[in-house]
Structure 1
Amino acid sequence: MTPEELAELTDDERALRDKLIADADEYGTAVVEVPAADERSGPYAFTVGAWRRFGVPEAIVVGLPPGLGADLVNLYVKRAAAGERFVTGIRYKDFFAGRPVVFERVFKGRYPEFFGSAFLVYPKGDFPAVQIIVPTEDVIWPWHPHAPEGFARWQPILTDSLKPESWTPGVNGP
């Protein structure tokens, strides 16, 4: 961030930026948890600082209960910081609480809506991001035709099309 950009921040924005950077420096990443906007949408959690610290994409998970989303993105950063790399469309079995997950790239057009405070650290939005997608307990993914009603709305896929784009479900991905 340039001195001019820093000067344009409010005191609250500067304090939040300093906290995000301090948390990332101390813990490997800062985690931001955002409550659901209404009963039709899910809460979400995302990382800030994983790209800056470890050169790995920032991560977001949508639709998990408060606390669980933060635990999942922290687990991702811990594993990625240790050198593990995650490929979109691959099902990672037993990744989190006995459940598989799959990763998808986040469309940059969704960054302002879902990564707002990350722009305090990356003002130009120049960071990659992946979404960690979690199925139901019965391992049904949001895009599946038998997914529970509202599941795709509760856990939207943050691509341009709102569908998996890095793989074809049921063909070369879950």
Structure 2
Amino acid sequence: MPDLPLSVEERRLRDHLVAQVDAHGRAIVEVAGDKDGAPYTFSVGVWQRYGIPEAVTIGLPEGAGRHLIDAYIDRASQGEEFPPGQVWDDLLEGVLVTVERVNRGHYFEFFGSVFLLHPDGDFDAVQLITATPEDDWPWEADAPPGFDLWQPVLTESGLPESWTPGVDGP
């Protein structure tokens, strides 16, 4: 994406995001769901501030996505590593979470505001994927119908690509 001049509205949003990063070490953007997709939440500024991947989570209830991303940022910014395919049971109470790298083809749709800080898309990003309360993952055959559409996996294939489900990952 070429570095085009920003509109007044885009400059205002960029300035707001930068102020949030300066004040809190991150900006968190929550996008409401609609008839075309689930709600999602993503970080802005942590790649620039801490050198850790920006994060997105999809399909969580209002506020839960922010809580999950905050927990990831707090721990990753202190040096904890989040390798894809590992499972955490302590990032969001009562929910299993794993991580997958986000394919760059999904960046603009799910990290649009990050492009105000990185117009060329030169940042890393991960998806924090959550299991159902019954510990089913979106790619599993016994997951609830439509769960894979409610929480799509943002890889090129739409399935985990950094690990093999059931072998070296959930």
Q: 1:65 aligns with which of 33, 41, 61?
A: 61
Q: Distance in 2 between matches of 1:57 and 1:101?
A: 16
Counterpart secondary structure, 1:101: strand
Q: Distance in 1 between matches of 2:108 and 2:167?
A: 32
Shift of 1:26: 1.0
Runs of 4+ aligned residues of structure 1 deviating over 2 Å after TM superposition are none
Counterpart secondary structure, 2:16: helix
Q: Do 1:101 and 1:134's aligned partners in 2 also have CA atoms closer than 8 Å?
A: yes
What RMSD in Å do the two structures reach over aligned CA positions? Answer: 1.4
Counterpart secondary structure, 1:65: coil
Q: 1:166 aligns with which of 144, 149, 162?
A: 162
Q: 2:11 aligns with which of 1, 14, 19?
A: 14
Shift of 1:103: 0.2
Counterpart secondary structure, 2:29: strand
Amino acid at match of 1:47: S
Q: Distance in 1 between matches of 2:58 and 2:24?
A: 22
Amino acid at match of 1:13: E
In the TM superposition, 1:82-161 aligns within 5 A as 82-161=78-157
For the structure 1 residues 136 and 19, does the alpha-carbon distance in structure 2 shift closer, same or farther, using more than 3 Å as the test? same
Q: Do 2:137 and 2:143's aligned partners in 1 also have CA atoms closer than 8 Å?
A: yes
Q: Which residue does 1:49 correspond to in 2?
A: 45
Amino acid at match of 1:35: A
Q: Do 2:58 and 2:150's aligned partners in 1 also have CA atoms closer than 8 Å?
A: yes
Q: Determine if the alignment matches structure 1 residue 80 to structure 2 residue 76.
A: yes
Counterpart secondary structure, 1:8: coil
Q: Distance in 2 between matches of 1:78 and 1:19?
A: 21
* Unmatched tracts of structure 2, length 5 or more: none
- The sequence identity of aligned pairs, in percent, is 50
Q: Do 1:6 and 1:14's aligned partners in 2 also have CA atoms closer than 8 Å?
A: no
Q: Do 2:3 and 2:119's aligned partners in 1 also have CA atoms closer than 8 Å?
A: no
For the structure 1 residues 139 and 18, does the alpha-carbon distance in structure 2 shift closer, same or farther, using more than 3 Å as the test? same
**TM-score scaled by structure 2?**
0.95
Amino acid at match of 2:21: A
